[in-house]
Amino acid sequence: MTETLFLTSDEVAGLAEPAEYVDAVRDGYRQVGEGAPAEPRTKLVNRDPAGMLTTYAAILPETGAMGGYMYAAGFGEQDVWFITPLFDADSGEPLALIDGASMNPFKTGAAGAVGVDTLARDDATEVAVIGAGAQARGQLRATATVRDFEAVRVYSPTPESRETFAAEMTETVSIPVEAVDSSTAALAGADVVITATNASDPVIDDADVEPGTHITAMGQYTPGKNELPPETVARATYVPDLRDRVMQDAGSFLAAIDAGLIDEADPEAHVHAELGEIIVGSAPGRTDPEAVTVFDSGGTGIETVAAAHLLYERAVDRGRGETISLSPGSEALTGR
C-alpha cells in the first residue's frame, strides 16, 4: 500500500499565482527541450452518445514527476471532466490524484505566456484577446506576468461577455482592458494576439496581423478547429508546443496545408522549432523584429505535470487534501 494525496478542484484553487505557474511550465518545457519524453494527445471518439476520451502524458525527471491529463467530454452530460494522475518519476509511486478543473486555465495560460515570453518582441506593450471565457482569462493573467503591457483590447461576439471580461480583468491584471466590437479593432496596434476560443473558423483576419506581431493560439487542438487564417500560419514563424502533434491535430496548420499554402510533400519543413528547443537554445526564437510569430498551444502533458507537481507540493505544505491508499501491482496480483 502507498498513501496518495487526493485533491479536489476547490482544494487546489489559489495554491499558486500565475507567475509561479509560468515558471514551473517554462522549466517543464526546458526539460523536454533537453530530451525528456512527452507525447501528444491520444483521443478515442465514441459515436453514441457522442463524446471523446483524451489523454496526454509527460515525464519531467528534474521535477521528479510524471503523469498527465485524462479527460472526458461530451457524452450524455455534454460536459468535460479532468483528472490528473501524478507519479514520482524516481520510484513510479503515485503521488496524487488531482481534479484538474480549476488548474486548467492557469496551466494552459502559463504555456501561452511562455510562448509570448519566448517569441514576442521585448518592447511589446499592447495585447489583443479574442475570446472572453475562462481560458482567455487564464491566458491574460499569465501573459501579463511576462511583459509590461500598457493596454489590452478584448473581443467576443457576445457584448455582455466582452464587457464583463474587460471590467473583471482590468482589476485583476491592473492594466486597462477595453471591450471592442470587432477583432479588427482588437488587433489594431497589437503587439501580442491571444486567441482562446472554440471556433471552427478563423477568428481574426490575416490583413489585421501587422508585421512584428506575436500570436498565441490555444483553440486549435483538433482538425477542424482553426482559429487562425491559413495565410497567417503560412507566413509566420510557426512554433508548436510539440512537433509530434502538428500533423495530428494542429487544426490551423492542417488547414494551411489543405489550402495549398504549406507544402504538402514536406509540411514539417514549415515548423520552425518546438517550444522547448527554443528555450534551451537549440533553435533561435525571434530573429526579425518584423516577423509574425505563432505559438500553437494545443495542450500537452508538459504543462499539466509541471503545474500539478507545483500544486501537489503546495498542498502538502499547507495540509490540504485527503490521502487514499493504493495497492501496488505485486500485492494486487499475488494477494500478498
Domain 121-296 has CATH 3.80.30.20: no
Could you tell me if 56 and 299 are in contact, meaning their C-beta atoms sit under 8 angstroms apart?
yes
Where in the chain are the domains? 2-104+301-334, 121-296
Q: Name residue, grid cell 501587422.
A: 210
pLDDT in tens, the chain (336 residues): 788 999 999 999 999 999 999 999 999 999 999 999 999 989 898 988 888 898 999 999 999 999 998 988 888 777 888 899 999 999 999 999 999 888 999 999 999 999 999 999 999 999 999 999 999 999 999 999 999 999 999 999 999 999 999 999 999 999 999 999 999 999 999 999 999 998 889 999 999 999 999 999 987 777 777 899 999 999 999 999 999 999 988 889 999 999 999 999 999 999 999 999 999 999 999 999 999 999 999 889 999 999 999 999 999 999 999 998 888 887 766 665
Distance CA 182, CA 159 (A): 10
Going along the chain, which residue ranges are E strands? 2-7, 38-46, 51-60, 65-74, 79-88, 94-99, 126-130, 151-155, 177-179, 192-195, 214-217, 237-240, 293-296, 322-326
Cβ neighbours of 332 (radius 10 Å): 10
- Model pTM? 0.95
Sign of CA dihedral 39, 235, 202, 188: positive
Q: Which amino acid is at 85?
A: P
**ω before 49 within 30° of 0 (cis)?**
yes
Query: What CATH number does domain 2-104+301-334 carry, 3.60.110.10, 3.40.50.10470, 3.30.1780.10, 3.30.1360.30?
Result: 3.30.1780.10
Beta bridge partners of 217: 195, 296
Which of 257, 300, 260, 245 shows the shortest CA–CA distance to 108? Answer: 300
